[in-house]
């Protein structure tokens, strides 16, 4: 067979490990060849492709963050308008099946291509860990490790200065990174998009700490967190070209409000893209490699219209329909477990 792969959406540590898994499995197990399209769906539409060989270059990318193929975002309308071009390009390159690696948006695109007759097996990717139907997406563990390290480091400086420090982490719609980094780093409060926060409660928790002699506090805030209606004014930021709401710096706004209410010294650290950069953790390298191997086998087994997923200890294939049906949000009981450690 002749396979094609691409990486689309925000990058993520482990993408190269998936590509390596695909290329090596295709070659060693099936004698198949692999082509990579550059910059996600855009490269597929513009027919920008490179041959990927099972050689030492591919072998060495296991440790590299980012993606050797480049990535990009494409508006769904432009993507859909390019269907004929995509079909023509795949036919021209004699591609038998496509393995797109991406988050929810990419997997929606993969499903749409599959519905339109293109043989597709998807690989879920996102540091946010919000793809439905899979226990973990690769990149999440690395992002949590980075965020936890930041929280760890902030404890000592916060304590030295009797400050409240806010750490804003990624997570537009879901709070998995915030939840895990907050728990692992011993944060004194964590706010996530799934549970609107009450600033008065946060202030109470901080005040309690100061009254008990612990004169510092660490608060982890997911970038997509929002206050309970009517409890705090937020700046509004409009939307970007993809219809995503623009962030207005929730961490700083929480900091300003705590300072205004309690008078304590409050500072904010926004971790941003540091969480997406650098080499993947061992867990992410293993998971990403397993995804690449399974996706390649699934293509050769004809399991089209599916994506790979982690189910407990096993890597399985689930229908793309399931993966894109809705986001995997943090269940309330997981948040209440974290709450038990607040204060």
Of 38, 128, 194, 257, the one binding ligand F6P (CB under 6 A) is: 128
CB atoms within 10 A of CB 192: 27
Q: Footprint of ligand F6P on residues 176-235 (CB under 6 A)?
A: 223
147 binds ligand F6P (CB under 6 A): no
The helix or strand, by DSSP H or E, that contains position 97, with its residue range, turns out to be: strand 97-102
Task: Count the neighbouring beta carbons within 10 Å of the beta carbon of residue 92.
Answer: 10
Identify which range of 74-82, 123-131, 259-267, 319-327 contacts ligand F6P by CB under 6 A: 123-131
Beta bridge partners of 100: 6
* Beta pairing, strands 164-169 & 189-191: unpaired
User: With binding defined as CB under 6 A, does residue 171 bind ligand F6P?
Assistant: yes
DSSP state of 201: H
Interface with ligand F6P (CB under 6 A), residue from 35, 145, 170, 330: 170
217 to each of 99, 132, 144, 148, how far by Cα in Å?
45, 34, 20, 15
Closest CA to 310 of 63, 18, 90: 18
Minimum Å distance from CB 253 to ligand F6P?
17
Distances (CA, A) of 340 to 110, 183, 203, 228: 40, 10, 17, 20
Shortest reach from residue 72's CB to ligand F6P, in Å:
10
- Is there a contact between 15 and 101 (Cβ–Cβ < 8 Å)? yes
Q: Which of 87, 108, 172, 267 binds ligand F6P (CB under 6 A)?
A: 172
Rounded Cα gap, residues 226 and 171, in angstroms:
12
Q: What CA–CA distance (Å, rounded) separates 245 from 214? A: 37
Catalytic residue among 11, 39, 128, 130: 128
Q: Based on the residue annotation, tell me whether 92 is a catalytic residue of this protein.
A: no
CB of 172 to ligand F6P, least distance (A): 4
In angstroms, give the least distance from the CB of 91 to ligand F6P.
32
Single out the segment in contact with ligand F6P by CB under 6 A; choices: 80-88, 93-101, 125-133, 295-303.
125-133
For residues 92-111, which are near ligand F6P according to CB under 6 A?
A: 103
In whole angstroms, how large is the CA radius of gyration of the chain?
22
Identify which range of 124-132, 258-266, 281-289, 292-300 contacts ligand F6P by CB under 6 A: 124-132
* Closer to ligand F6P by Cβ: residue 199 or 222: 222
The residue whose two tokens read 């036919």 is 91
Q: Footprint of ligand F6P on this chain (CB under 6 A)? A: 10, 103, 126-128, 170-172, 223, 276
Binding residues for substrate: 126-128, 163, 170-172, 223, 267, 273-276
Instruction: Give the catalytic positions in this structure.
Output: 128
Binding-site residues for Mg(2+), in ranges, read 104
């Amino acid at each position: 067979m002749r396979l094609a792969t691409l990486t689309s959406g925000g990058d993520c540590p482990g993408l190269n490990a998936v590509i390596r898994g695909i290329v090596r499995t295709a070659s060693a197990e099936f004698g198949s060849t692999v082509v990579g399209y550059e910059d996600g769906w855009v490269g597929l539409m513009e027919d920008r492709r490179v041959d990927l060989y099972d050689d030492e270059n591919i072998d060495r990318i296991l440790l590299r963050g980012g993606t050797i193929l480049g990535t990009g975002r494409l508006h769904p309308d432009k993507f859909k308008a390019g269907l004929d071009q995509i079909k023509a390009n795949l036919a021209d390159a004699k591609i038998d099946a496509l393995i797109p690696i991406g988050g929810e948006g990419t997997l929606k695109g993969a499903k749409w291509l599959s519905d339109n007759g293109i043989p597709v097996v998807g690989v879920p990717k996102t540091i946010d860990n919000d793809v439905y139907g899979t226990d973990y997406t690769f990149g999440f563990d690395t992002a949590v490790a980075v965020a936890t390290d930041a929280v760890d480091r902030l404890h000592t400086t916060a304590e030295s200065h009797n400050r409240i420090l806010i750490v804003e982490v990624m997570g537009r719609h879901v709070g998995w990174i915030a939840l895990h980094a907050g728990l692992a780093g011993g944060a004194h409060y964590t706010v996530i998009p799934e549970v609107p926060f009450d600033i008065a409660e946060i202030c109470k928790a901080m005040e309690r700490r100061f009254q008990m002699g612990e004169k510092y506090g660490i608060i982890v805030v997911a970038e997509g967190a929002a206050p309970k209606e009517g409890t705090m004014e937020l700046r509004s930021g409009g939307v970007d070209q993809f219809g995503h709401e623009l962030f207005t710096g929730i961490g700083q706004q929480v900091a300003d409000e705590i300072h205004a209410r309690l008078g304590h010294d409050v500072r904010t650290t926004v971790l941003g893209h540091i969480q997406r950069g650098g080499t993947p953790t061992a867990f992410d390298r293993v998971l990403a490699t397993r995804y690449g191997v399974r996706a390649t086998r699934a293509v050769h087994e004809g399991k089209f219209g599916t994506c790979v997923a982690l189910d407990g200890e096993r890597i399985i294939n689930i229908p793309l329909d399931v993966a894109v049906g809705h986001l995997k949000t943090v269940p309330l009981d997981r948040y209440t477990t974290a709450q038990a450690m607040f204060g």
